[in-house]
A and B are shown apart, each in its own frame.
Chain A
Amino acid sequence: MSMLRRLFQPTLLVSAMASVFAASAQATELTVYTAVESDDLQKYAERFNAAHPEITINWVRDSTGVITARLLAEKENPQADVIWGLAATSLLVLEEEGLLARYAPQGVENLDPKFVDAAYRNGEDPAWVGMDAWVAAICYNTIEGERQGVPMPTSWEDLTQPEFEGHVIMPNPNSSGTGYLDVASWLQLWGEDQGWDYMDRLHNNISRYTHSGSAPCSLAATGEAVVGVSFAFRGARLKSQGAPIEVVFPEEGLGWDMEAAAIVAGTDQQEAAQTLMDWVVSQEANELYNEGYAVVAYPGVAQPIENYPADITERMIDADFSWAAVNRERVLAEWQRRYDSKTEE
């Protein structure tokens, strides 16, 4: 009981104090929708507030799918002022629906052009700006691998070998953005025919498809699976938490999506939203992204980080986000036709 109280009292006190300060400062409040991993949100707000204490960020955080669905459902009367940290493929969908306000943040010219909305290259203000790359990877449980005689894979092709049968978990692309990222990148990497052929063979080895993109890695970390097709950030995090996993970056190339930011059209906090966007593209912000992600939008900022290979930029495929967005419905339907109707046991 006293343990609980000790845990409890400081937290209450701090949150009470925080609300008192927030009330007295009369800060501008921004509602920011995000899919940034929840472990990092507090840090993001703190760093931004160090530069701009007058703006309070109210986070609404959920998985990529839920946040995208919420933004689309709220289309008639948007609630968010800014989106900070959502997959570029989602932002492309939102842009098509007219949900984003174009704005060129101060300093956007410093960013690697491939991290900025292509419209910017044609002289328009960009609808969104990238933050960091979110890279596909394989999580491999070393203990279970040894115990069950499953070697550590080094390539995507390895996963189709007989010894991996029943040991591979991946996200269902119809449920998870990470899953679609994998499928879209294989199709871009090898072309459609070879890509589908690869997935046909992979499907025979898959033990199940999950609804969440981080689940395969989390499941590999706890030994529920030996191999989880997931993304590097979660793998690196779990590894530093003490999970017996190796994060494998397959040699054929790495599919990726980027986290990006945008102003929501119709916000009544235009000025504060622009201030935030200016900070989002700053070098300081990119140093912040670099604490979790090995590849960031601001050239020259990225320092190698734990559990990522040094040459990761060269290994990322030449991803075409608009191809992925335009073909999404068709690819998902085809995927469903091939693999989903078989899922009944």
Chain B
Amino acid sequence: MRALAWIPPMSRLSPEALIRLLVLLAGVALLVVGLLFPLFAMLVKSVQDRSGDFIGIANFVQYFQTPALVNSIANSIRVALTTTVIVVGLAFLCAYGITRTCMPGKRLFRMLAILPILAPSLLPAISLVYLFGNQGFLRDVLMGETIYGPIGIVLGMSFWIFPHALMLLITALTHSDARLYEVADALGTPKWRTFLTITLPGVRYGLISCLFVVFTLAITDFGVPKIIGGQFSVLATDVYRQVVGQQNFQMGAVVSVILLLPAVISFMVDRWIQRRQVAQLSARAVPWQPTPSPLRDGLFALLCYGVAGVILLVIGTAMYASLVQFWPYNLTLTLQHYTFQGLGGGGWGAWFNSLKLAFSVALIGTLVIFFNAWLIEKSEGYRPLRQGLHLMAMLPMAVPGMVLGLAYIFFFNQAGNPFNWLYGTMAILVLNTLVHFYTVCHLTSVTALKQLDPEFEAVGASLKVPFWTTFRRVTLPVSLPAVLDISVYLFVNAMTTVSAVVFLYNSDTRLASVAVLHLDEAGYFASAAAMAVLIFLTSLVVKLLHAALTHVLLNNAQRWRQAG
């Protein structure tokens, strides 16, 4: 009410428009410096030879003439498509169960389903070996097939990508207008038809975004194929082989360019669909509440808890691995692997650095990303700027972490770069991580914002309320669940990320996630598992705090959503 009463007497359009422009430009500048310039510095290498002379497309010609490299394209697509089908299928069913049925224990399932995101990708890799490796408890399940190859890659990736998909689909399915369902019910529309004509179109945008997110995450992931992929080569491990194995930055850049293609396609499809998206949650919408249906609820509960069971099995196996003296030959339980003594890698100090990084990224990233998304979606004018910002926001997901990390070296460590002072600091790790995980946060923001009626802004503007007040008093509170999801997503990813930061940390900023990699490489599997479990538990505590906070906020600021 106070917002309505408070109308600034001198409010004119132009200062506000100026501020809007400046903020928009700041958002653009962040991604230009944090993403475009470094990428450009990296990609230029794809048309250069080793001494830095321009050689046109010669590197690409060489790439396509090398069968060992070209094969990886088909391998990558196969593995990524399989993962996409499994993950999106399961995640949609589970998200539907959470949002549209009365299955019991929803809150518990949501907590369990999000667990994989809390762990570094090495954790499922370690667990899969313990479960399905040559000494694994369950190796017979594979019927003679090896876990080291496409099967392991798909399983490992499905495990860690599942929560990403679930998060996007729950956001998409949360907003719904009960009036549509009431009408359908009144007209005697069959359930399947309601699903096809109301539910699916309503989440179309979220669903298709989700398909692309999952596909791109799968095709660019490096951690799982490196550890468990055996010799099945995919594009992301090819970048590693070129850059780390052979220090051939030029060919690494060529593979990176090829890896960027899915993002470009994804962006085009995204624009195309967006034009067809209609705001679903109008200012007059009535939130829909599911009614109990024992059979449906039971089936969904069964499915969801089946998924949760698999997740718990994988995490439990890693915990067990961290407690065993020397698997599989000495199964005495011990806590000694948690001391990290004499193992280098940074031990608890690295854990503390990771914590600092994660808090910084969560705080800064959430504000920046959500506000930018809001500027893109809900402001008028400067269309090219807003579109440019959206394009850049879609890009990071398609950039493999390793490419981004190297790109940062090439750009920020150039002699004469004004941002040179960032290099080797915690700040560059924050920037890199923020940019690396920008896209999913951006998409979550956009999905949430799209479902808000543009009338909110229109009313604000007609009442001459400055845009930041509308943002602070209406948009932000209404979107709080999504905003909190974003901050926690950033936190846990900052805790677990490896591939980008491995090129950027220095002696003061060693990270726990990198320590996991080093411990695993040195053959200290148990200590690696212990550090992975430590990261997992840290993220879990933060996640639990987040859940508690969300609960309180939902009870206060979001009461309207649960009306009726």
Contact = CB atoms under 8 A, between A and B. Distances in A.
Do A and B actually bind?
A: yes
Interface of A: 3-4, 7-8, 11-12, 15, 31, 37-42, 58-63, 65-66, 68-70, 72-74, 76-77, 79, 93, 143, 172-176, 208-212, 214-215, 217-218, 221-225, 234, 237-238, 241-244, 328-329, 332, 336-337, 340-341, 343-345
A66 B525 CA distance: 20
Nearest to A213: B521
Contacts of A224: 129, 133-135
Q: List 8 tightest A-B contacts by C-beta distance, closest first.
A: A38-B344, A218-B523, A58-B507, A65-B244, A340-B68, A175-B245, A208-B230, A73-B409
B384 interface: no
B329 A143 contact: yes
Most A-side CB within 10 Å, residue of B231, B424, B505: B231
Interface stretch (B20-28, B177-185, B293-301, B410-418): B410-418
B231 A70 contact: no
A328 B339 CA distance: 41
Given A208-B230, A224-B129, A225-B134, A174 B522 contact: no
Nearest to A230: B523
B94 to A, nearest CB: 31
Contact of B329 (A70, A79, A243): A243
Contact of B328 (A37, A39, A174, A222): A222
Contacts of B413: 73-74, 76-77, 79
A210 B240 CA distance: 12
9 contacts: A58-B507, A65-B244, A66-B503, A69-B247, A72-B247, A172-B231, A172-B245, A211-B245, A224-B133
B226 interface: yes
Contacts of A172: 231, 241, 245
A60 B342 contact: no
B328 A223 contact: yes
A223 B135 contact: yes
Given A61-B344, A175-B244, A343-B231, 9 more contacts: A4-B338, A15-B349, A38-B344, A41-B344, A72-B247, A175-B241, A224-B134, A243-B326, A341-B67
B518 A61 contact: yes
Given A60-B507, A68-B247, A238 B523 contact: yes
Interface in B49-69: 66-68
Contacts of A225: 134
Given A242-B326, A344-B75, A62 B518 contact: yes
Contacts of B506: 31, 58, 60, 79
B523 A93 contact: no
B330 interface: yes
A315 B335 CA distance: 41
A4 to B, nearest CB: 8
Nearest to B504: A70
Nearest to B148: A208
Contacts of A211: 226, 237, 240-241, 245
Interface residues of B, number: 66
B347 A11 contact: yes
Contacts of B424: 79
Contacts of A41: 344
Nearest to A56: B507
Nearest to B328: A223
Nearest to B406: A73
B420 A77 contact: yes
A222 B327 contact: yes
A7 B329 contact: no
Given A60-B506, A61-B344, A222 B414 contact: no
B206 interface: no
B233 interface: yes
B345 A38 contact: yes
A58 B506 CA distance: 8
Contacts of A241: 326
B244 A66 contact: yes
A114 to B, nearest CB: 25
Nearest to A328: B246
B148 A242 contact: no
Nearest to A211: B226
Given A58-B506, A60-B507, A73 B518 contact: no
B244 A222 contact: no
Contact of A345 (B149, B335, B344): B149
A79 B338 CA distance: 32
Contact of B68 (A63, A234, A243, A341): A341
Contact of A337 (B68, B342, B348, B505): B68
A214 B507 contact: no
A164 B201 CA distance: 58
A218 B525 contact: yes
Contacts of B231: 172, 208-209, 340, 343
Contacts of A62: 502, 518
Interface of B: 66-68, 71, 74-75, 129, 133-135, 148-150, 226, 230-233, 237, 240-241, 243-247, 249, 325-330, 335, 338-339, 342-345, 347-349, 352, 406, 409-410, 413-415, 420, 423-424, 502-503, 505-508, 518-519, 521-525
Given A38-B343, A63-B521, A343 B348 contact: no
A65 B71 CA distance: 24
Nearest to B326: A242
A8 B335 CA distance: 13
B507 A39 contact: no
Contacts of A242: 325-326, 329-330
A340 B75 CA distance: 13
Contacts of A66: 244, 502-503
Contacts of A74: 409, 413
Contact of B232 (A61, A244, A344): A344
A39 B522 contact: yes
Nearest to B66: A336
B348 A73 contact: no
B424 to A, nearest CB: 6
Contacts of A337: 68
A179 to B, nearest CB: 8
A237 B523 contact: yes
Nearest to A8: B348
Contacts of B522: 37-39, 214, 218, 234
Contacts of A38: 343-345, 518-519, 522
B68 A336 contact: yes
Contact of B245 (A176, A237, A344): A176
A214 B521 contact: yes
Contacts of B241: 172, 174-175, 211
A221 to B, nearest CB: 6
Contacts of B518: 38, 61-63
B415 A76 contact: yes
A42 to B, nearest CB: 6
A222 B249 CA distance: 34
B243 A69 contact: yes
B348 A77 contact: no
Contacts of B226: 211
A298 B241 CA distance: 35
A3 B410 contact: no
B367 to A, nearest CB: 30
A229 B507 CA distance: 32
Nearest to B238: A174
Nearest to B242: A174
B508 A58 contact: yes
Nearest to B229: A211
Contacts of B503: 66, 69-70, 73
A40 B518 CA distance: 13
B335 A222 contact: no
Contacts of B338: 4, 7
Contacts of B148: 208
Contacts of B508: 58
Contacts of B74: 344
Nearest to B70: A341
Contacts of A63: 244, 518, 521
